[in-house]
Structure 1
Amino acid sequence: MQLTRLELYKRVCDRPLSKVAPELGISGTVLAAICKRYQIPYPGSGYWTRKSLGLPAELPTLPEASDETIEIMPSVAKPRKKRTLEEGSVRKPKPDAKLRRPARHPLLFGVEEHLRKTRDVKNGEFLRPYKRILPDLVSSETALLRALSTANDLYLALDEQGYRVHIAQAADNLHRIHVREQEVERKDRRYGRDHSGSIWAPDRPTVFYIDKVPIGLALTEMTERVTMRYLNGDYHREDSSLIRSAKSWQLTHSWTTEQDMPCGRFRIVAYSPKKGVDWSVSWQETEQQLLGTLIPRIVETLRASKNNLRRLMDAEDAAEAKRKREREEEWARYERREDARKTAQALTDSRQQLAEIIERWGRAMTVERFFADAEERLKNTNDERRQRLEERLTLARAMMESVDPLDFIEGWVAPEERHRPKFL
């Protein structure tokens, strides 16, 4: 199609580019490029808005130029080449995407910083962080990096098997068991000053699920019994460099004692976080075998424990249902006993109140007979004395209560008003 500059100018000033372009067989973008090339101004969107509202709007003027003919070629869509059946069935093979194991488990992001923000601890004791919603890791400061590395390897190994390790939600009603920290179990415990130091524990357990069976995980550094020497106001390990380098005269007024101190070796404890299910298994490292080498065996053992754990959980559910039923039955018996006791007490109280009312009425009637006899005797006295005594009798009678039996019985409370029996 051929148009002069003036003809194209009139067209783009009469209607928007989006309306003119389809008539010319081109897109609005191509038409705008042609107008720019041949210096043909066209109104913008603001012009058409004002015009639709009936407001005055100015058209751009056509600059002076040769009124040459513009050749506009409609754009022709290229036909899409159809694939043959053989070409469509053959696809380019995609390179195998190698799944990379993440360097750090998501649960452990930022955990080191929180664990180091700890309450005051003596040299070598376990960290006691302020934050309580953390992965179940108990470690001293010197062994913290090893604890995080071991936990990371364990969590990632479980994740690779499809068991997501996470911190239990409060609504899950799962509980952390007491984790024993002694490497060699002893009858006495001597951790901390005065042998009564507390060890930090998270508020919620770290768990993963095999199907619907929850399993709790705890990683704790173990303690060993060591000799501690008191020097310069504090206790230090007997084999520490401070004690070994001390002079003999510095040790004159020192003494030794035994304490449980973190040893740098770790124990993994898996347990059932469901209340009432007594199941746990642990693995601990030695000087010859590190805990990281046991992780594949740990994962396999936990996977094989699913059926046993499910049986224990089902048995606990049945036992809990039985205990609940027994509690409900005991509560029903208690309510019946209380109802019978309150019914009997209400009857006793009503009888006692009625007896007291009758006794009060009897005393009131005695007083009433006294006044009646006094009034009868006044009739036989002289006028002066009768007038004086009548005033006193009036004052005395005003002090006394009513002798109407209905007034007395109106305040009585019947047994059914005191307590309505729930059981017949």
Structure 2
Amino acid sequence: MDTETTSSALSGISREDLYQRVWATPINHLADELGMNHYHLARICEALNVPRPPAGYWQKKAVGKEAPRPDLPAALPGDQVRWVRGTRPSAPPTKRVYRRMERKAADRPQRPTRHPMLIGVEESFRKSRTDEQNEFLRPYKYLLPDIVASADRLAAALDVANEIYNALDLKGHRVMFAPSDQEMRRIHVDEQEVSRKDRKYGRYQTGSIWSPRRPTVTYVGSIPVGLALTEMTERVTMRYLDGSYVREDSKLVRSARPWQLTHSWTTEQDLPCGRFRFVAYSPLANIDWSASWQDTQSADLKSLVPSIVSQLQSSEAELQTLIVAEEKAAAQRRKEWAEAQERYRRQEDRRAVERALADSKEQLAEIMEKWAAATAVERFFEEAEQRLERVDDERRAQIQARLALARAMLGEHDPLQFLSDWLAPQERYQSKYPLI
């Protein structure tokens, strides 16, 4: 594998690049170049909606009889357009097939079609970390539709979600998981039916609620809208009786004997109430937009589905305005960040220049001290040698030997060598900016 191919595989592949390469090189060979098996590469092609050569294409091409290659389909809003090594390719969008159904007899009501996002998910939701009666399900799986419900109301929650998803789908707004190659976040969804300052959910009133790994989104035009359905909670008085907490208004408490209530006590807890809230929101960062609908005494959530779809469709202009404003604000933040970074780099450059000047002065002061010491030693030996000429021969030999020993012990000191070792400020650090 050459360097260019390796770099491309590590940085990622766009669907346009993958399309060209799949039709230029057999998939087995291309998979080897990219360091993966051909099954994985086929999954990436499906995720990016890139058509692959059919079986026998390369044999026919060798004899000049290959079929013309199809065009690369245009990417729809929400489609994955790039794959990066180390990330799992998104599941290919499900293509719904609508069949014309014969009208059934009145005594055989037609069952609503299950949305592809909800097929087979009930079993995954019921494989939960907790089976507490008074808590929401916490499935082990995280790549599930954004639905929060208790075990008793899961089937009803899936039916409500199915109504909403199908209604959006039929209007051309497909419902899907947020693309893995795009940054989208899930907002906090308030589960309390009546908003309160405190929260008392879970056995110890600090329970956590499951949330999916990726938001569930639909697209209004080209704008993503996050979708979340949650069963709401209500504040309930609970009584500790016979080793567990039960509702104060339950039949068990009403039928308890006075002696059973002697050593019991009550507390408050937020319990799933069986009613639902649907929240639509912007999953894009820094876009503060959301709308919610919930079950009421006058209307349940299913009856509100047409108004939900209508309001989401009419919100496109508002969302587009918010996105444009955020893009301008983001550009301003990037500009301010770049200016702040430039100021920081200039300050660091100035500090480095000042540091180099200070270090150079300090080294020069040390050189001057060493120079003074070296010249003092040199003057000492020169003066000793001059005086030695006036000493008699017998004593001169003895002192010359000692003078040679002293020179050997102190070594030679060349003051000019100190200057050659000195580093000027510009030699220590060269400023990246012109001096003002």
On whether the aligned pair clears a TM of 0.5, the verdict is yes
SS in structure 2 at match of 1:171: coil
2:135 pairs, out of 100, 115, 125, with 125
- The whole-number CA distance in structure 1 between the counterparts of 2:172 and 2:198 is 41
- The whole-number CA distance in structure 2 between the counterparts of 1:341 and 1:170 is 44
Find the counterpart in structure 1 of residue 161 from structure 2: 151
CA apart distance, 1:271: 0.7
1:204 pairs, out of 211, 214, 218, with 214
Cα distance change on mapping 1:290 and 1:410 into 2, 3 Å: same
Is 2:374–2:415's contact at 8 Å kept on the other side of the alignment? no
How far does the alpha carbon of each residue in 1:54-109 deviate from its partner, in whole angstroms, 9 at most, with x for none? xxxxxxxxxxxxxxxxxxxxxxxxxxxxxxxxxxxxxxxxxx96269962111112
Question: Residue type of the partner of 2:427?
Answer: E
Find the counterpart in structure 1 of residue 26 from structure 2: none
Find the counterpart in structure 2 of residue 98 from structure 1: 100
Q: Normalization by structure 1: what TM-score?
A: 0.71
Find the counterpart in structure 2 of residue 371 from structure 1: 381
2:269 pairs, out of 251, 259, 274, with 259
SS in structure 2 at match of 1:267: strand
1:99-248 equivalent positions in 2, closer than 5 A: 103-120=113-130, 122-248=132-258
Is 1:229–1:238's contact at 8 Å kept on the other side of the alignment? yes
Cα distance change on mapping 1:359 and 1:401 into 2, 3 Å: farther
Q: Does 1:301 align with 2:303?
A: no
- The whole-number CA distance in structure 1 between the counterparts of 2:210 and 2:392 is 101
Question: Residue type of the partner of 1:213?
Answer: I
CA apart distance, 1:375: 4.4
1:232-381 equivalent positions in 2, closer than 5 A: 232-378=242-388
Consecutive unaligned residues of structure 1, counting only runs of 5 or more, are: 1-95
Q: Which deviates more from structure 2 when the two are superposed, residues 124-133 or residues 164-173?
A: 124-133
Question: Residue type of the partner of 2:238?
Answer: M
1:3-18 equivalent positions in 2, closer than 5 A: none
Q: Which deviates more from structure 2 when the two are superposed, residues 189-198 or residues 239-248?
A: 239-248
SS in structure 1 at match of 2:181: helix
How far does the alpha carbon of each residue in 1:336-391 deviate from its partner, in whole angstroms, 9 at most, with x for none? 22222211221121122112111122122223333334444555667776666555
CA apart distance, 1:396: 4.0
SS in structure 1 at match of 2:240: strand
Is 2:232–2:275's contact at 8 Å kept on the other side of the alignment? yes
Question: Residue type of the partner of 1:195?
Answer: Q
- The whole-number CA distance in structure 2 between the counterparts of 1:332 and 1:186 is 46
CA apart distance, 1:121: 5.3
Find the counterpart in structure 1 of residue 425 from structure 2: 415
Cα distance change on mapping 1:387 and 1:108 into 2, 3 Å: farther
Question: Residue type of the partner of 1:355?
Answer: A
Is 1:124–1:142's contact at 8 Å kept on the other side of the alignment? no
Cα distance change on mapping 1:372 and 1:265 into 2, 3 Å: same
CA apart distance, 1:128: 1.6
Cα distance change on mapping 1:372 and 1:303 into 2, 3 Å: same
Cα distance change on mapping 1:360 and 1:144 into 2, 3 Å: same
How far does the alpha carbon of each residue in 1:91-134 deviate from its partner, in whole angstroms, 9 at most, with x for none? xxxxx962699621111123222222222353311112222221
Question: Residue type of the partner of 1:275?
Answer: A
How far does the alpha carbon of each residue in 1:126-180 deviate from its partner, in whole angstroms, 9 at most, with x for none? 1122222211111111111111111111111111111110010132211111111
- The whole-number CA distance in structure 2 between the counterparts of 1:387 and 1:137 is 106
Question: Residue type of the partner of 1:262?
Answer: P
- The whole-number CA distance in structure 2 between the counterparts of 1:318 and 1:308 is 16
Cα distance change on mapping 1:299 and 1:367 into 2, 3 Å: same
Question: Residue type of the partner of 2:287?
Answer: V
SS in structure 2 at match of 1:300: helix
Is 2:143–2:212's contact at 8 Å kept on the other side of the alignment? yes
Is 1:182–1:223's contact at 8 Å kept on the other side of the alignment? yes
CA apart distance, 1:277: 1.1
Cα distance change on mapping 1:386 and 1:313 into 2, 3 Å: same
Of all paired residues, the percent bearing the same amino acid is 56
Q: What is the CA RMSD across the aligned residues, in angstroms?
A: 2.5
CA apart distance, 1:245: 4.4
- The whole-number CA distance in structure 2 between the counterparts of 1:402 and 1:247 is 108
Cα distance change on mapping 1:169 and 1:388 into 2, 3 Å: farther
SS in structure 2 at match of 1:148: helix
- The whole-number CA distance in structure 2 between the counterparts of 1:319 and 1:397 is 75
CA apart distance, 1:227: 0.8
- The whole-number CA distance in structure 1 between the counterparts of 2:390 and 2:241 is 112
- The whole-number CA distance in structure 2 between the counterparts of 1:395 and 1:236 is 102
Q: Which deviates more from structure 2 when the two are superposed, residues 171-180 or residues 359-368?
A: 359-368
Consecutive unaligned residues of structure 2, counting only runs of 5 or more, are: 1-97, 103-110
CA apart distance, 1:248: 3.1
- The whole-number CA distance in structure 2 between the counterparts of 1:122 and 1:371 is 97
- The whole-number CA distance in structure 1 between the counterparts of 2:187 and 2:348 is 39
SS in structure 1 at match of 2:246: strand
How far does the alpha carbon of each residue in 1:381-415 deviate from its partner, in whole angstroms, 9 at most, with x for none? 67776666555544443443542123212332222
Find the counterpart in structure 2 of residue 406 from structure 1: 416
Is 1:124–1:141's contact at 8 Å kept on the other side of the alignment? no
- The whole-number CA distance in structure 1 between the counterparts of 2:412 and 2:161 is 88
Cα distance change on mapping 1:140 and 1:399 into 2, 3 Å: farther
